[in-house]
Amino acid sequence: MKNTKVSDRLLTVPASPIRKLVPFAVEAKKKGIKVYHLNIGDPDIKTPEVMINVLKKWTTNPIAYGQSQGQPKFLESLASYYNKLRYSFVKTNHIQVTTGGSEAISMALFSVCAKGEEVIAFEPYYANYNSYAAINGVKIVPVLTKGETGFHLPSRVEIEKKISKKTKAILICNPSNPTGTVYTKDEMEMLVSISVENNLFLISDEVYREFVYDGKKYFSILEFMKKYPDKMILLDSLSKRYSLCGARLGMIVSLNRDLTDGVLRMAQGRLSSGFVDQAMAEKLTEVKDSYFASVHKEYQTRRDVLYKGLKSIKGVYLEKPEGAFYTIVKLPVKDSEDFCQWLLTDFRYKNETVMVAPAAGFYGTKGRGKDEVRIAYVLNINDLKKAIEILRRALVEYNG
C-alpha cells in the first residue's frame, strides 16, 4: 500500500527552538533531576487576584461561545487600557481580540501578504515568527542586528537594501524577545519613515510593553498610528503583562478599516476566543498600578542578577538587556544546540541542571547564532543565582 503523504508546506514549519529540547528535560526529570527552566518566557509571577476571583466565583453555565471580535466588556477594558497610556484615539472598533498574541501574529501576516510575499524582520527575532510565516506562505527576510550594539538597528541603507518588489511589511518586536532591546525614538522614527516612503506596513509586536528598565523611555507604534492610520499595526497580548499565558488572549489594534474588517471575517471563521478567559481579563481595569510596579521591580532586579552573574563567567558575552525578560548570550561553545542538549542529558551539579534555548532558531539566516543561547529570566532570584552557578560549572566541564 502507498504511504499517504502530508503536504510539502507542512514540512517547512520549523520546530520551536524554545520547546524542541523538552523531551530531554522530561527524561532528566524522570530521573529525579531538578531542571531550572531558563528556556521559556512563562512568568512565575502571580496573576492579579481580581482576575482569579472571577474564576473562584464562576456560576455561568453553559460556557458559551463569545463574540468573534471579542466580548464587549473586554473590548471596553482594552480600550480604556490604551486610553490610560494616552492613546485616546483607540476605540473598541479598532481592536480585534485574538487567541493569544500568537494568533494576532498569524492573522497579521496573512492579512498583509499574499503567498510568497515578504516581511522584513530584524534577526535574531521571536522564533515563532518563522512558524507563522511558514504557515501563511510568507517569506521573512532577515536583517542582521548584533550583540555588540545591543541588537539595535543597523543603518537605514542596510534596511532598505532588503526591500524588494515583494516586500509588504516590516515586523518588529519592541521590547524585543529574544534580545531585550528597546528601540529609541530615532529608531522608531526611522522605521516609520522607511515604511511610509516604501509604502509598507509597520507591524509592531509589543507584548512586553510594560517591561522597560532603567527609566528608559519607550516609543510605541501607537505614537504614529494616528498620523499613518493605514500602515501601522499593533500586535499585543495579555500573557506577560498580567501573567495570563494560559488564558490565551491577545489583540490586533489598527485604524486600517480594510484590515480590521478582514481580520474580523477570519475571526468569525474560528468563532471566538475563550469566553471564560475574557470574563477574567476584563478586570484588567481594576488591576492596581502597584501590581505593575512590583512586577517591574522584580524583573529589573532579576535582569541585574543575571547580567552580573553571566558577565562574571569566563568567555561569556552579553550586553545589558533594556527590556522584556530575555537576553541573547554568546557562550564559549561551537554548537550551542549540542551544549543545551548535553546540559539535559549528561550534566548535573548537586542533581540539578538548567535548560536554555539554542539561539540559532531565532535567526532567519542559516548558520547564525550557533554559539549563542537565549535566556529567559523568569525564575526567582534565588533560583536564578543557582541556575547561573550551574551554567558556570557546566561550561567548565563541557569545555574539558
Interface residues with ligand PLP (CB under 6 A) are 41, 100-102, 126, 173, 177, 205, 207, 237, 239, 245, 250
Least Cβ distance, residue 247 to ligand PLP (angstroms)? 9
Residue whose beta carbon is closest to ligand PLP = 100
Least Cβ distance, residue 44 to ligand PLP (angstroms)? 14
What count of other Cβ atoms lies within 10 Å of the Cβ of residue 163? 16
Least Cβ distance, residue 250 to ligand PLP (angstroms)? 4
18/306 with CB nearer ligand PLP: 18
Cα separation, 173 vs 180, in Å, equals: 10
173/329 with CB nearer ligand PLP: 173
Least Cβ distance, residue 369 to ligand PLP (angstroms)? 17
41/124 with CB nearer ligand PLP: 41
> Residues with Cβ < 8 Å from 269, sequence gap 6 or more?
none
Least Cβ distance, residue 142 to ligand PLP (angstroms)? 16
Q: Is 92 exposed, middle or buried (0-12, 13-18, 19+ CB in 10 A)?
A: middle
98/195 with CB nearer ligand PLP: 98
Least Cβ distance, residue 333 to ligand PLP (angstroms)? 25
Among 249, 252, 219, 218, residue whose Cα is nearest residue 235: 252
Instruction: Sheet containing 357-358: give its strands across.
Output: 326-330, 372-376, 357-358
Half-sphere exposure (Cβ direction) of 225: Cα atoms closer than 13 Å: 25
- Give the DSSP H/E element, type plus range, for residue 250: strand 250-254
What count of other Cβ atoms lies within 10 Å of the Cβ of residue 359? 28
316/373 with CB nearer ligand PLP: 373
**What are 109's three cell numbers?**
501576516
24/129 with CB nearer ligand PLP: 129
Distances (CA, A) of 118 to 163, 167, 181: 9, 4, 24
